[in-house]
Amino acid sequence: MKKLTLLLITVAVSFLAQAGGLLHNTNQSIAWQRMMARGATNEIDGVFTNPAGSAFIDHEGWSLSINIQSASQSRDVLTTFPLFPQEDHTRLYEGTASAPVRASLHTVYKRDKWAFSGFFGFVGGGGKCNFSSGLPSFDAQVMAGIYSKTAAMLAPQPLLKNIVGGDAVTPDMYGINSAMKGRQYIYGLQMGAAYQINKHWSAFAGLRMNYFDGNYRGHVDATLGEAVKQRANAAMATLTPEQQAAYAPMITALAQEGGLTHIALDCHQTGWGVTPILGANYKVGPLTLAAKYEFKTSLSIENDTKQLEATAMGQASEELEQAMQASYGHGVNTPSDLPAVLYVAAGYEILPKKLRAAVEYHFYDDKHAHMANDKQKYLTHGTHEVLLGLEWDINRIFTVSAGFQNTDYGLSDAYQTHTSFSCDSYSIGFGGAVNLTKKIRLNLGYFWTTYKDYHRTEADYFGTTLPGSDTYSRTNRVFGAAIDFKF
C-alpha cells in the first residue's frame, strides 16, 4: 500500500487541461479561440502570442484587451481489476474539471518604434478537478492491501477467521468511500518591450512572473459492511469472556469508520518562478514571420499541510505516514518546472485587408523540465503542436475565423497516472469579431478538443501484484468573449 501515497503526490498536477503543452496554457485570448494560429499576428492579442509584433501595431498610444472564458472538461477512467466485484470486474470512474470564469488582460503602449506591453492571465492550471467517486488505483491498492494483510493476520488464528467469516477480508465484506479534489492556478504577469529595428524587423525582450497556488484534499476510507459486523458480533457472542476480551478491541477497531484503511490529506501549495522571453518578428509585404522563445522556468512548490493521516487495520500506519510525509510533509518542496518553449509562425495576407491565413509550430521541451518524482524521464519526447488558422473580414464591421490545433505528447504507460493523465488530441475553434466603433471591438469564440483514448495494461497493477487495465478518456469545451479598446 506504500505506492498509494505516490498517487497522492500526483494530485499536485491534477488540474484542468488547457490548450498547449503538458504544463502550459496557450489559450490566452478569444482571438486565439476563434483562429488558434495567432503566432504571427500584429494585433493586441499578440502581446502573448507574438510580443515582438506589437511594434507593428497600427495604433499609436494605448491598446487594451479584456478576455473572459468559461471551460469545462470530463476526465474518465474505465478500469478492469480482478478484485472489483462488478460484472466483468470493470468500473467507470468519472472526473469533472471546470473553470467557470477565467480572465486574461493584454495591454500595450505604442510610441514611434517602441511598444511596451503587459499581460496577466492563467499560464497554467486555471481550474478545479473533482473525482467524487474516487480513483481506480486507490481502490485497487486498498483492496489488494486489505486482502494480503488480513490473510496474514487471520492465517494463524482460526477463531478470528470464524469471527470475520473467511480466510481474508474480501471486497464483498466492506465498502470504500474515497474522493479527491484538486485546485491549481499558475498566475502569470508579463512585462516587456518591443522595438521596430526597421520597416521589416522588430525584436522583443521581457519577463513573466509565475505564481503557483494550489490546494488538494482527499480521503480514502475502507470500512466493514453491516452484514459482516452483524456476523462478527454473533460469532463473538459464542466465545468465552476471555476470548471476547482478547478479540473485542481488534474487531471494534476494524468495524469503525475507516477501520480497515484510512488516509486523509489537506495540503496547500505555493511557489513562484521567472520566465525570460525573447521574440522576433519579420514583416515584408503580405508575409509575416515570427518566433518566440520562453526559457525554462525553475519552479519549486512548498507545502503548507493542514492534515495528513494514515491508518491501517485500526492502527496508525508508520509506513504510509512516512511515505506521505516525504512528499506532503509541512514545508517540503517539490519541483514543478515550466519547460522551455519554442514558437514559430508564418502569416500571409491572401487578400489585402480581407483574407488572412497562418500556420504555426510549438515545441515544449518537457523532458528537461524537472517534475515530481522525475516523471519527465518517462516521456518519450517533448510535446509537438501544429496550428492552422484562417480569418476573413466580411466587411469593415464583421470578421469570422476558424482554426485547428494538433497536439502530440511523448506519453508512456509509466508517465500516466489516474490523477494526472494526458491524451493526444486535436482542437477546432471558430468565432468572429464585431467592430462596434473604430476603437472598440467585440470578440466571440468557441473551441472543443477531441482526445484520443489512451489504453494501458499492467501485469502488476500499481504494485498490487495483480493484473489490471485502464482506458483514459477526456472531453474539453471552452467559450469566451472579449472587448478590445484603443485609446
pLDDT at residue 127, as a whole number: 65
Helix, strand, or coil (residue 379): coil
Q: For residue 443, what is its C-alpha cell?
A: 470578440
Distance CA 130, CA 26 (A): 23
Q: For residue 165, what is its C-alpha cell?
A: 467469516
pLDDT at residue 419, as a whole number: 66
Lowest-pLDDT range, 219-223, 289-293, 312-316? 312-316
String of DSSP letters for 74-93: EEEEEEE-TT--SGGGEEEE
Q: What is the overall mean pLDDT for the chain?
A: 88
* 296 alpha-carbon distance from chain centroid: 19
pLDDT tens figures, 238-290: 888 888 888 888 777 777 777 888 888 899 999 999 999 999 999 999 999 99
Q: For residue 65, what is its C-alpha cell?
A: 484587451
> Which tops the pLDDT comparison, 127 or 109?
109
Query: Which residues lie below 8 Å from residue 246, measured CB to CB, with a gap of 6+?
Result: none
pLDDT at residue 5, as a whole number: 45
Picking from 149, 152, 146, the residue whose alpha carbon sits closest to that of residue 220 is 146
Residue 14: band (very low, low, confident or very high) from pLDDT cuts 50, 70, 90: very low
Distance CA 160, CA 28 (A): 62
Q: What is residue 375's DSSP assignment?
A: G
Q: How far apart are the first and last CA of the chain?
A: 61
Burial class (CB in 10 A: 0-12, 13-18, 19+), 111: exposed
CB 449 within 8 A of CB 429: no
Picking from 358, 229, 327, 341, the residue whose alpha carbon sits closest to that of residue 279 is 341
Please list, residue by residue across 58-91, b when 16 or more beta carbons sit within 10 angstroms of its beta carbon and e when fewer do: eeeeebbbebebebbbebebbbbbebbeeeeeeb
Q: What is residue 53's DSSP assignment?
A: G
Q: How many residues does the chain have?
A: 487
Query: Which residues lie below 8 Å from residue 475, measured CB to CB, with a gap of 6+?
Result: 73, 74, 448, 449, 451
Q: For residue 103, what is its C-alpha cell?
A: 480572465
- What average pLDDT score do residues 382-387 get? 96
Domains (range + CATH), the chain: 3-486 (2.40.160.60)
Q: For residue 369, what is its C-alpha cell?
A: 523540465
Residue 314: band (very low, low, confident or very high) from pLDDT cuts 50, 70, 90: low
Distance CA 178, CA 75 (A): 17
Task: List for the chain the helix, strand, coil content (%; round to 5).
Answer: 25, 50, 25
Residue 8: band (very low, low, confident or very high) from pLDDT cuts 50, 70, 90: very low
Distance CA 446, CA 128 (A): 20
CB 10 within 8 A of CB 218: no
Question: For residue 168, what are the CA distances in angstroms to 10, 72, 144, 162, 177?
Answer: 31, 43, 11, 11, 20
Half-sphere exposure of residue 446: CA atoms within 13 angstroms, side-chain side: 2
Please list, residue by residue across 214-253, b when 16 or more beta carbons sit within 10 angstroms of its beta carbon and e when fewer do: bbbbbbbbbbbeeebbebbeebbeebeeeeeeebeebbee
Highest mean pLDDT among 117-126, 160-169, 342-351: 342-351
Distance CA 293, CA 343 (A): 6
Helix, strand, or coil (residue 255): helix
pLDDT at residue 439, as a whole number: 95
Q: Phi/psi class of residue 462: alpha, beta or left (left: φ > 0; alpha: ψ in -120 to 50)?
A: left
Distance CA 340, CA 382 (A): 10
In the block, residue with C-alpha cell 503566432: 39
Burial class (CB in 10 A: 0-12, 13-18, 19+), 460: exposed
- Model-level pTM? 0.86
- What average pLDDT score do residues 140-164 get? 84
231 has a pLDDT exceeding 60? yes
pLDDT at residue 254, as a whole number: 75
